[in-house]
Structures are given as structure tokens and as C-alpha cells.
């Protein structure tokens, strides 16, 4: 018996295969695109109300930087990490059932979350711009560029959120890949590893690293510090791919 002719090229070019997977992640925009903004605006509204009440009763005795520290934005990165884990679990088997390779699936998923990082980075940067233009929403509040971002240029604010998103999403895709491949065992291993890293970090800080670490955060600008997260994100994403490429489809 002869063998059917080897296929000369894939029927769908690589770029489109990757884009197909990215589109798959957009299919339900609620958890990834719509809900986070709605929640963010709700939290913003609530924070603003509290600021207004405090400003009203405190009157002129209010300290100048009273409303400079808000945590209303930081939850988003954790949320997106969870979304990344969920998305991988929800779409991996479907995409492979629809004849995707693991490589195309992973690239498409990363592309989707990369786009999300840009959207959130730019979106939060713009909102920080509005915040400054409106004198901190009329109450000198810093919701979108709080604390150490308060006096940074808008481009740095946007880049900060973009890089932070990438970092958490890269961690999320790694966890997602480990979950898809090894189910709960994968998560135990990941968090055990994370704990171990934490212990080693504390050990190093206590032993000799404290001044080095402090120097890194005080001597570098925010932009440089955030830029250093990029190689970390790349490493996490690459590890995720190594896990994914040998993942069987169960069920």
C-alpha cells in the first residue's frame, strides 16, 4: 500500500491560525473586556463618593495628599490572571478539537492577552490623563495614577499598567497551562514553587540583598523597573509553552 501524498503546506496560513484562536477568546467579551471596566467604574464611583464626603466634612483641614493612595485599580491585574487561567481551561480542548495545534493555540491566546494588556495600559493611561485634567475628579483624588504614579508622565503610567498586565497574564498562562496539563497537581506544584521562591527571596533579603533590592527600587525610575518585568514575563510565557506543547487532550 502506498502512502497518501505528504501535504505541501497547511491549508490555513500560520498567521490566520493564530488569529483564529485569538478571536475565539473574544467570542465572549463579558469576562475579559466588559465586566472589568464596569467593576472598575463602579469602584471609582464609590471611591469618589467617599472622597467627597471626607472632603466635605474635613474642609480646609484636609491634608494635601489625602486621596493619593487608592487601591481601586490593582485588583485588575489579579483578576486578569484568573481570567487567563480560566480562559485556557475553557478553550484549550475546544481549539484542539477544532484542529488547532498547541503552538497555534498558545500563540493565539498570548496574542489575545497581549492585545488586552495594550487596551488596559492605554485605557488606564487615558483615564489618568482625564483625572489630571479634572483636578483629580474635582477632589484632588488619584484613582488611576495613585501613589508612586502620581507624578509620573502619562506614558509611564500607561507603560506601567501594560507591563504589570503582561507579567500577571504571563503568570496566568503558565498556571493555566499547568492546570490544563496536570489538573490540580499542576496548581499545587506551581504554588509550592512560588512559596519556595518567596522563602528564598526573603532569605536573600535578610542575608545580604536588602540594600541591593532597596537600591534597585530607589535608584531606578518606574519605567526602568517596569521594563525589567518584561524579560520575566517572557520567561514565564516560554515556560507556559513548554508545559503546553506536551499536553494531551483529555475527556
Partner 1 sequence: MTAIIEAQDLRRTFGAVRAVDGMSFAVEEGSICGLLGRNGAGKSTLMNLVMGQDFPSSGTVRVLGEDPVENARVLTRTCFIKESQSYPDAFRAKHVLATAPHFFPHYDHALAARLVADFDLPVNRMVKKMSRGQRSALGAIVGIASRAELTLLDEPYAGLDAVARHVFYDRLLEDYARHPRTIVLSTHLIDEVADLLDHVLVVHQGRLEIDAATEELRSSAATLVGRSADIDAFVEGREVLGRERIAGIASVTVAGLSQDDRARAARSGLEVTPVSLQQLIVRRTGAPTSEEVAS
The reply on whether position 59 binds partner 1 by CB under 8 A is no
Nearer to partner 1, 86 or 152 (CB): 86
Of residues 121 and 186, the one with the C-beta less far from partner 1: 186
Residue 218 near partner 1 by CB under 8 A: no
Minimum CB–partner distance for residue 106 and partner 1 (Å)? 11
d(CA 129, CA 145): 9
Q: Which of 77, 18, 27 has the alpha carbon at shortest distance from 241? A: 18
Q: Which stretch binds partner 1 (CB under 8 A): 97-105, 127-135, 153-161, 184-192?
A: 97-105
Q: Phi-psi bin for 75: left (phi > 0), alpha (psi -120 to 50), beta?
A: alpha
**163 and 87 in contact (C-beta within 8 Å)?**
no
Indicate the helix (H) or strand (E) that contains 41: helix 35-58
Q: Which is nearer to partner 1, 16 or 56 (CB)?
A: 16
- Residue 28 binds partner 1 (CB under 8 A): yes
Q: How far is CA 29 from CA 13, 33, 227, in A?
A: 26, 5, 29
In the region spanning residues 66 to 95, those forming contacts with partner 1, defined by CB under 8 A, are: 90-91, 93-94
Largest CA-CA distance found in the chain, in angstroms, rounded = 92
Triad 83, 88, 92: Cα angle to 5°: 155
Residue 184 engages partner 1 in binding (rule: CB under 8 A): no
Any contact of residue 23 with partner 1 (CB under 8 A)?
yes
Gap between the Cα atoms of 121 and 221, Å rounded: 18
Q: Candidates 16-24, 63-71, 152-160, 173-181 — which segment interacts with partner 1 by CB under 8 A?
A: 16-24
What Cα–Cα distance (Å) separates residue 226 from each residue in 166, 187, 232?
10, 27, 10
Residue 99 engages partner 1 in binding (rule: CB under 8 A): yes
Task: Rule CB under 8 A: choose which of 69, 75, 98, 148 binds partner 1.
Answer: 98
How many of the chain's residues bind partner 1 (CB under 8 A)? 39
Q: Which stretch binds partner 1 (CB under 8 A): 75-83, 145-153, 222-230, 241-249?
A: 241-249
Residue (59 or 248) nearer to partner 1, CB: 248
71 contact partners, CB below 8 Å, separation of at least 6: 146
Asked if 154 contacts 206 with a C-beta cutoff of 8 angstroms, the reply is no
Interface residues for partner 1 in 101-140 (CB under 8 A)? Answer: 101-104
236 binds partner 1 (CB under 8 A): no
Question: Residue 142 in contact with residue 70, Cβ under 8 Å?
Answer: yes
Among 48, 72, 81, 100, binds partner 1 (CB under 8 A): 100
Binding site for partner 1 (CB under 8 A): 1-12, 14, 16-17, 20, 23-24, 27-28, 30, 90-91, 93-94, 96-104, 245-246, 248-249, 251
Amino acid at each position: 500500500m502506498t502512502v497518501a501524498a505528504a501535504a505541501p503546506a497547511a491549508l490555513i496560513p500560520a498567521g490566520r491560525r493564530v488569529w483564529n484562536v485569538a478571536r475565539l477568546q473574544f467570542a465572549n467579551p463579558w469576562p475579559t473586556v466588559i465586566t472589568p471596566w464596569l467593576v472598575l467604574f463602579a469602584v471609582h464611583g464609590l471611591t469618589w463618593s467617599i472622597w467627597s464626603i471626607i472632603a466635605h466634612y474635613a474642609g480646609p483641614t484636609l491634608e494635601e495628599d489625602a486621596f493619593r493612595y487608592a487601591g481601586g485599580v490593582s485588583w485588575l491585574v489579579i483578576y486578569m490572571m484568573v481570567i487567563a487561567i480560566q480562559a485556557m481551561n475553557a478553550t484549550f480542548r475546544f481549539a484542539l478539537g477544532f484542529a488547532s495545534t498547541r503552538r497555534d493555540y498558545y500563540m493565539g491566546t498570548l496574542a489575545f492577552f497581549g492585545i488586552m494588556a495594550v487596551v488596559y495600559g492605554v485605557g488606564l493611561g487615558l483615564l489618568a490623563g482625564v483625572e489630571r485634567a479634572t483636578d483629580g475628579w474635582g477632589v484632588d483624588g488619584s484613582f488611576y495614577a495613585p501613589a508612586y504614579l502620581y507624578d509620573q508622565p502619562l506614558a509611564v503610567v500607561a507603560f506601567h499598567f501594560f507591563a504589570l498586565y503582561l507579567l500577571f497574564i504571563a503568570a496566568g498562562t503558565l498556571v493555566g497551562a499547568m492546570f490544563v496539563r496536570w489538573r490540580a497537581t499542576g496548581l499545587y506544584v506551581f504554588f509550592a514553587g512560588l512559596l519556595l521562591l518567596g522563602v528564598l527571596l526573603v532569605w536573600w533579603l535578610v542575608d545580604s540583598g536588602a540594600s541591593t533590592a532597596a537600591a534597585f527600587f530607589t535608584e531606578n525610575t518606574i519605567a526602568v523597573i517596569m521594563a525589567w518585568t518584561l524579560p520575566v514575563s517572557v520567561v514565564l510565557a516560554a515556560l507556559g509553552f513548554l508545559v503546553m506543547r506536551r499536553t494531551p487532550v483529555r475527556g
